[in-house]
Structure 1
Amino acid sequence: MRFFLILSFLSITFSAFSQSKITYLDSLAQSIKKLPVKKQLELITTIPYGNFVAEVEKADSLFRKAEQIALQLEDSTSLGDVVFKQGQLKAYQNRMDESLALSLRAIKIFEESGNLEKAGIAYGGLGYNLKSNNLEKAKQYMQKSIKLLQQANDSVGINPVYDNYGVVLNRDGQNDSALLYQQKSLRIKKALKDSTGLGYSYANIANTYAEMEDFRKAKAYLDTSLVIRNGIADNYGITVNYVQKAEILVLEKKYMEALENFKRCASLAKQYKYLHLEQYCYEQMENTYLKLSDFENAYFWKEKFQSLKDSSNSLKVNSRIEELQIQFETEKKEKLLAEAQTDILTKEVEIKSRTNWLISAIGLSFILALFGFVVYKQQKQRNKQIIKENQLKQALIKIENQNNLQEQRLAISKDLHDNIGSQLTFIISSLDSLKYFEFNKALIYPKFESIAAFTRSTITDLRDTIWAMNKDEITFEDLKLRIINFIEAAKASLLGIQLEVNFVNSKEDLALNSVQGIDVYRIIQEAVHNAIKHAKPQKIVVNFMQNANEVVVEIIDNGVGFYSNGFVTVDRGNGEGGTGNGLHFMQKRAEEIKGKLLIIKQNPGTKVQLNVPLRE
């Protein structure tokens, strides 16, 4: 079920108004005539939401006047406000193409003037208006709106966006998430003591409970909404309440009661010129009569709906009308056939007189069918071409991915050969050399222990390499667990050195390819080992961070420091430097993954910093 609500994105503090001969907008139009234009602009742009939706045509006239004043005064903020409100009014008048154009114009004005807070509000309105045509795009714009308004800490502006985002999630079947955002909005409205806004929040929550088939709660929230709206004479809200009640009754299969509420809503919508809501009610009455198999009334309300329907959707609407007409005519003809069996002779003359008309109709139908067939064949051919193009693109992507994966595995295989192979060769050589030693415990047992330790290190390196080879990509979680395991294993031999690891600003969906993952892991290992072996630190800290386009790893110690020169950038301030196989190993690893390795002198200690670009 689609609940038809449009909420405010600009004003939360609404004022009650009464419907009399001199309305709020009439009074405002008269009172501002003699005021300076700047004051006129201020009063028009701050018209409360409840007032301008109550009289859309009068509001439209005032907003057009305000637009001219804002252009004259070169007031971009007021111009953006009034253009956005014009977009809202066009939605109420069922002129969605104009509404979309005005919303986009307002966003452009706000962004060019650097007013990102109001741009966030406009993005929310744009997303909400797209919910019927492009649900994914609607969610994308509303999420952008929420992000901008949260950054601005604007509880007033974000309040209706939360409410409307709940409606969009409701359409997408995410009822639990919808309820979460609607309850957030309700809490803000209560804090602001926003009586008109509360009417909308209670009604939206009622819709969500109805979708969840909790009709008891749905009716309770809807009744609360109606009490609030009646109390402040909210014409639009009262009108919407009828359609909401009808939709709940449809879910309960109480179709006749639902029809009465749809008709009441349509009548009020027509009176107040809410064309989008009037059209929606006609469509729902058609659907409800279809559930009752009352094709005659369904066809009648479909005709009413069609008269308000956008011309851009005429092909789809005409097809639906034709379907209803066929159903209606079929039922009618079945009844006529039963009557004709008893009076067939008297109908012969009438049948003959219709023959010529039928021939003409058949001829016209044949021409239309032929035209439709040609269009169908052309469209079918285009669809086949599109499918072939997509299949080719997917095949190329698959080949590219396989090539990338093969390159990564070849790189790791080379690492396995160069690193693990050389280590195994060393172990074999060490074992062979033992046969030249005399068996002496004091001499030969330390050799055994040294070979065993080196073998355990080789096994660990081999496991790490196999771990990387078995993965198409290494996620943040994989790397995090591997580093923690390494740190925990290292703590056993630290001899009082404190070791700390931090993961800062890292996202769960971070992914490196297998070569990047193993090289980052090896560089961290080597840097920690170097610090333990050479720097004599009291503490070593490993920081793992993610920026916009790169991963940054820092290994920081507070020891005596170690120097590097030539192949590594070193920030020491005195030109001192040195070399080491461990540093060369880290530099080589960094270059393999197109990373940047910095070794920076600190007071006290040293910082090893690795910057790795993320893959696109």
Structure 2
Amino acid sequence: MPRLLLAVICCSMVHLAWGASPSSRADSLQRLLSTSRPDTNRVRILIQLAWERTDDNPLKGVEYGQQGVRLARQLHFRSGECRALLMLGWAFMRTGNYATAIQTQVTARRLAESIGYAGGVIHADNAMGYAHLEQGNRQLSLRYFRRAVGQAERYHDTVLLTPILGNIGRAHLELGRPDSAWYYTWRGYQLDLEQQDVHSEIGDLSILGDIEARRGHIHQARYFYQQAISRAVGMPVSYAISRAYLGLARLVRNQQPAAAMQYARQALAAGKAGRYAKGVFEASDYLADLYADTGSNAEAYRYLRAAAATRDSLFSQSRMAQVQALSFSEELHQQKLAEEGERAAARRWQFILALALAGAVLTAIVGYLLISRRHLRREVEFVQERQRMERSHSRAILDAEQNERRRVGADLHDSVGQLLSAAKMTLGALRRRLPLTDTVHQELFGNSMDMLDEAVREVRSISHNLVPTTFTRHGLVQAVRCLLDRLALGPRQLQIQLEVNGLQDHQLDSTLENILFRILQELIHNVTKHAQATELTVQLSCQQEELQISIIDNGVGFNPAAQHENVGIGLRNVASRVAYLHGEFAIHSTTGGGTCTILKIPLRMGATAVLV
């Protein structure tokens, strides 16, 4: 068996020296096995036992290998399982069950790849190449050998590379390429010496002997065979010793028949000592040929029967190994089914847990949405309540303003106006009683009366502006028309045009009309005060749900962007009143191009606002 197997044997077994006999090492391992617990160390002992018994009792090697695989799988010891499969594959190969050996090595290689065990991959490739070589598939074996060499060189693993080269050399020899066989085998032999790999060295010496024999170099062949035999003392390499003795027998068959007979018997003895059935069969068959050449038919027949018995034994051993393989395969199949069942159950549990988790997440999301919706509803209610309170507050301010205007207007009309009228009557009576002959005094008296008349008119105008009687009697349109008429009669000679559309079909709330009148009053006052206009147009347009008011003049205009920070109190009041009515307020103006002020008041919103 190639020395590559030693690369996977556990380090805890190194105390079992190769100097001891195979049976003593196996006995020591057996004692360790009997006292070991079912743990990873027991797996290592089973692997070592499978290695030890593969050469002398392959069926026992198969048994130990199967036990190692089972225990490693129970312990989930994957590297141990891989090594046990590798040993098991070699044991199947020694029984002649090459198909099962290759199948086992394929399984081992897949496992080695999955766990990242490069040594297992190299070992499996070498073993599959060896199995194909034993069956005569030399080209296929070279493919596996070269793949193993490539992996070993990739990882710079000289220990694993060493035994593969000799196997490549043997394949080339069987293909009739002695020069290539010599190149690879000699290279492997040099590595054997460097690595002190005695096991691989013995096998390579035997192959070198076969190469030199094929070349016809008798002395060199004899040297290599003898070196292999001398190095094999105490080593479990019966296959190499048997082949070396058989090679010596073939070398001297023609010149020294007696020596050939002796070498053949030694090959037979080596095969029997190591239970190497193939070696026993080949040696027995060769001895039968030798005795047939000498005319000893009885001896020839005896060895032919021995060869036949060995062949039958080899066949029986192969059949038993096949039965074991089938049983083991069925066991592995059942174990695989059990593992698949466990995985399926685990997947089901995972699916159930995933569903439960998804349900919990969904419940949490729904709960969060409900809570958020409730919170949002409360926020909306809070905003609505705040808006209602703001409207109520604004309504109260507007009512208070209107009431204060009425009070001030009434006070001006009833108190100040009456006092001024009384003062004028008193001054008139005083003039009748005091004749004023002096021109200066008459002029002063006349000026005083004129000032009183002006004061009475001003008080009356302010009183009417605060509470227009036309507005209270006839509504918004008539009040606006009266306001514009008074402006038209003023000293500015302002041409005024009022356009009304659709207001006749709508009955506006009195509070809404009051707010709109104050807005118009303030905007028209700004035109007369600042615009220096000669034309003024006021448009009142009422549609189904909106009232639009436009105030257009041809005055000096201004830049709204520049005046944004300097807006007066009047425009601020206009903006606040429009906002209270949920309307829109826009001023369009350019310097020297006049001004257009547009208001859009929603009637429903406005009516609702003032009626709440």
TM-score (normalised: structure 1): 0.45
Question: Larger Rg: 1 or 2?
Answer: 2
Instruction: Kindly indicate which of the two structures has a greater share of residues assigned to helix.
Output: 2
